[in-house]
Chain A
């Protein structure tokens, strides 16, 4: 992959120079949380890595949108109004999250809503500094090789910039003089040093490789009942997880005439209605069963199929669940390790 070098003071100039490619978005500090917002004014922006509460899946798979309109004449897809966007500061774990969603929504037949938004969204990745809850090293999602257009590795004095797509190359060509083509050996050395340092900072280490077998053996584990008793079925874990994609569909009619939209909105397998079928028969009545589905899907199904968990180690469930039900506490408990958590008190 092509790697360039960029002096730090050039980043703002660069981002200003590519505004023609679409709305510029980044993660901003809203006091009690980090969220994606439009970056209309870069003069106060600090370009630091931040983990947004809701991952970037919200750009390709919005929490709520209209799939099509209908009236007596028929249906019309709503794909016209999707804006071009440039997202700055997408972290490695979240890029891995997008790669997993790409696989799902891109599989035959591809989902035109996700694909179109993905196509119209430019991803500018940014290297991160692990926070208290990150387990990306354990899930091997702390480095990325694809899924972005440009990726900025912050080496304190300057950035190394990986060009990940032809669109990324177009961006560089807008003002090529902002980048240095020639990398010296010491730049790579610095990068390796930086990476070594960073990799030693991950607070959570856990070996997921045996999880599929552990899950298989844990089908009747008392852990499920225990967390099932404490789970509030609030669905927060699924909203914040970068690889959760479930949705529900509802039709909305305009008052007084035959005209409306079919809307898609995020759903959660933690809600009771999720697996309900006709005549009220529910395949997963108990919360413990719904939790089991989630963890089986994250930690067993995907590893079995693709050799890695569909957890990308972002740590959001660790931060979000009010009763400490998360990949770390659950995986540890299933492995028989002691667990300090609200649900285990």
Chain B
């Protein structure tokens, strides 16, 4: 078959291979993938907060946030929950299976503007997927940022994604890693118990105008977390969030992700709270 050059058709997925996959929790797996073409694998550029369309030929495609950081090129990581047809098919695939991927798409985090600021990253549930990329980007470029806070809430210890990885991060002294669970049913959870908002009491000594906040989590989380940031006087345009919409193309053609005249796939998925106030239907 004729090899189609990607540039001429943005809808043709690139062949990639699953290098490794493992369970994070019951219904969420981490997939490490690499472009079959080694040169492409090493030169693929993206920003934290961008997403890619993963294709299983014969089943379909769906958007997934990139969970790895561009500061560690070669492998792409996706943290995926099994919910429907594409994700079920993906969960059946083993190491070395070939899948199709196109992208990266979306605006990603405005890294250039965020440099030089303190960072407060707040995530809940699967909200880890895009924010883990931002977190490791900041840690890999540690001297470009001020204080870095990570606030992560899960329902129970067993539902915390990357639990061991994050528990280990608490050892670092250049990062304030605050983890919480709503309920500790194990009785030996070493960190905080309570809602993610209850972690804000430990965020101290930040200069609100020199701070960027990033949030991603279940819809109910946004309102309360944004309320906390506003209490801190962090400017609205420095409160950033990843939003989810149904997407079919990722490149501004299919119309599915439209909110008023904003295309979530092009102008998002990262929006500021200021955008949200403008666009009534963003959250």
Contacts and interface: CB of A to CB of B under 8 A. Distances in A.
B115 interface: no
Contacts of A296: 260-261
Nearest to A216: B280
Given A75-B4, A278-B81, A296-B260, A245 B248 contact: no
Given A251-B60, A283-B281, A104 B253 contact: yes
A301 B249 CA distance: 20
B245 interface: yes
Contact of A75 (B12, B84, B258): B12
Interface stretch (A64-72, A165-173, A201-209): A64-72
Interface residues of B, number: 38
Interface in A250-289: 250-251, 253, 258, 260, 262, 267, 269, 274-279, 281, 283
A70 B255 contact: no
Given A70-B58, A74-B3, A277-B244, A297 B260 contact: yes
B60 A249 contact: yes
B208 interface: no
B268 to A, nearest CB: 13
B59 interface: yes
B42 to A, nearest CB: 21
A111 interface: yes
Interface in B1-34: 1-4, 8-13, 15
Contacts of B248: 247-249, 267
B254 A246 contact: yes
Given A104-B253, A258-B58, A278-B81, A112 B261 contact: no
Contacts of B252: 104, 107
A70 B57 contact: yes
A302 interface: yes
Interface string A279-323: 101010000000001001100111011000000000000000000
A198 B30 CA distance: 65
Contacts, number: 112
A68 B58 CA distance: 11
A12 B253 CA distance: 38
Interface in B43-92: 57-61, 81, 83-84
A71 B1 contact: yes
- A-side interface size class: 35 or more
Contacts of A70: 57-58
Contacts of A281: 219
B1 A274 contact: no
Contact of A74 (B15, B219, B244, B254): B15
Contacts of B58: 70, 251, 253, 258, 260
Contact of A275 (B8, B11, B84, B246): B246
A33 B213 CA distance: 57
Contact of A251 (B57, B219, B244): B57
A76 B4 contact: yes
Interface in B200-236: 219
A226 B95 CA distance: 54
B100 interface: yes
Nearest to A73: B1
From B4, B15, B84, B255, name the one whose CB has the most chain A CB atoms within 10 angstroms: B255
A77 interface: yes
A107 B265 CA distance: 13
Given A76-B2, A249-B60, A302 B245 contact: no
Contact of A245 (B13, B253, B261): B253
28 contacts: A67-B11, A68-B12, A70-B57, A70-B58, A74-B1, A74-B3, A75-B12, A75-B100, A76-B2, A77-B8, A109-B251, A111-B10, A111-B253, A112-B8, A245-B255, A251-B58, A251-B59, A267-B254, A269-B255, A274-B246, A275-B256, A277-B244, A277-B245, A278-B244, A283-B245, A293-B259, A293-B260, A293-B281
Interface of B: 1-4, 8-13, 15, 57-61, 81, 83-84, 100, 219, 244-246, 248-249, 251-256, 258-261, 280-281
Given A111-B10, A274-B256, 4 more contacts: A74-B3, A267-B248, A277-B245, A278-B83
Give me the 6 closest cross-chain CB pairs, A-B, nearest first: A301-B261, A246-B255, A109-B10, A70-B57, A253-B58, A278-B83
